[in-house]
Amino acid sequence: MKVIIYSIQSVFRSLWREKWINLLTILSISIGLSLLTAFILLTLNMDSVIQRWAKNFGLVVYLNDDISAEEEAALKIMISEDSDITEIKYISKELALKELRMTLGSKAPILEGLNDNPLPSSYELNLRRDLLEPELVRKKAVQLQQMKGIEEVQYGEKWLSSLYTITRAMKIGAFFIGGAIFIAITFITYSTIKIFFYRRKDEIETLKLLGATRIFIRLPFLLDGLIIGLLGGIISSLAIYGMYSFTSLKVIEFLPSFRLFMASFPFQVYIIVPLAGAAVSVIGSYIAVGKIRY
């Protein structure tokens, strides 16, 4: 407890003594954090858009025309018990024909010449979301194809693979850009604290000789980093709030599609950003102080 009190006093003293470099660091951190937050929100939102698309992805399983009633019942059980399949929609021959008529509209009379319904009955299946990878879907399709009474399995193979590519690219991009910003913020604190540390090198040497423990030596720097990061985070939160208010007022007026972005703006961001700033900053400070050897 006393350690903390003493350290906090000395931290505020040193923060004030170095107010310009600290201010610069705090602002840099807040810019970094704002970028990171905007980027994460953008990624999250794009992901949810993609997930919405993915929801519509389905396999169509066409049944054999001469399938027997028993076969059809057995097939139905097999499909409904398959845990990979989340939704099943049965389309009978009759329903298929009706839908075709509706699609054709005024041209429907061309079907009049048929005395037999040429359309097969079918199932529309939706797969579990985590299975929506080209390879896994292909396997599933092959597996279904081999079931008795199934004529053909169709799905949007090209569409799926491009969706998959986009999602992957986004995830990798998010990882690298997010990581780069993260490292940049760590480095900002790192270099500031490193400067402080070098300036106080003689003092630290003396402290060590007087019998100061590592924690006593390190704590002021960590607290320094903590406060810098926290302030950076708070400023960033305020900036994000400001931008949010501005965009919700102005931008949506001109750019209604922006509402999509705004829609999933979690309120916790205002708490997470300062905490993240503090955490990253403390890590930077810790690395800056490095190993203390006697």
Partner 1 sequence: MIEFSNVTKYYDDDVVLKDVTLTIEKGELTFITGPSGAGKSTLLKLIYCDERPDKGQIMVAGWDIGKLRQNTIPFLRRNVGIVFQDFRLLLNRTVFDNVALALRIHYMNASTIREDVHAVLKEVKLGHKADTYPQHLSGGEQQRVVIARAMVAKPTVLLADEPTGNLDIDNSQIIMGLFREINARGTTVLIATHNHGLFHASGRRVFYLKNHTIEKEEIG
Which residues are near partner 1 by CB under 8 A?
2-3, 6, 202-203, 205-214, 216, 293-294
In the complex, minimum distance from the CB of residue 283 to partner 1, in angstroms, rounded to a whole number: 22
Cα 231–chain centre separation: 26
> Is 281:235 a contact under the CB 8 Å cutoff?
no
CB of 215 to partner 1, least distance (A): 10
DSSP letters of 40-76? HHHHHHHHHHHHHHHHT--EEEEEPTT--HHHHHHHH
Which among 270, 286, 225, 166 is positioned nearest to 29, based on CA atoms? 225
CB nearer to partner 1: give 16 or 294. Answer: 294
Closest CA to 44 of 273, 237, 265: 265
Cβ-count burial of 196 within 10 angstroms (0-12 exposed, 13-18 middle, 19+ buried)?
buried
Q: Please report how close the Cβ of residue 219 comes to partner 1 at its closest, in angstroms.
A: 11
Nearer of residues 138 and 208 to partner 1, judged by Cβ: 208
Token representation of residue 118:
């040429």
The token pair that represents 50 in the structure block: 């993609």
CB 85 within 8 A of CB 178: no
For the bound state, the minimum distance from the C-beta of residue 21 to partner 1, rounded and expressed in Å, comes to 17
Complex with partner 1: residue 140 or 218, whichever CB lies closer: 218
- Amino acid 132 reads L
Whichever of 147 and 212 has its CB closer to partner 1, that residue is: 212
Q: Provide, rounded to whole angstroms, the least separation between the CB of residue 22 and partner 1.
A: 18
Give the nearer residue to partner 1 in terms of CB position, either 39 or 286.
Answer: 286
CB of 196 to partner 1, least distance (A): 13
Output 2 or 158, the one with its CB closest to partner 1.
2
List b or e across 21-35, with b for residues whose CB sees 16 or more CB atoms inside 10 angstroms.
Answer: ebeebbebbbbbbbb
How far apart are alpha carbons 268 and 115 in whole angstroms? Answer: 64
For partner 1, the closer of residues 6 and 176 by Cβ is: 6
User: Shortest gap between Cβ of 6 and partner 1 (angstroms)?
Assistant: 6
To partner 1, the closest distance from the beta carbon of 199 in angstroms equals 10
Nearer to partner 1 (CB atom), residue 150 or residue 204: 204
Task: Determine contact, residues 233/33, Cβ cutoff 8 Å.
Answer: yes
Cα→Cα distances 204→11, 112, 195, 207, 221, Å = 15, 96, 13, 5, 12
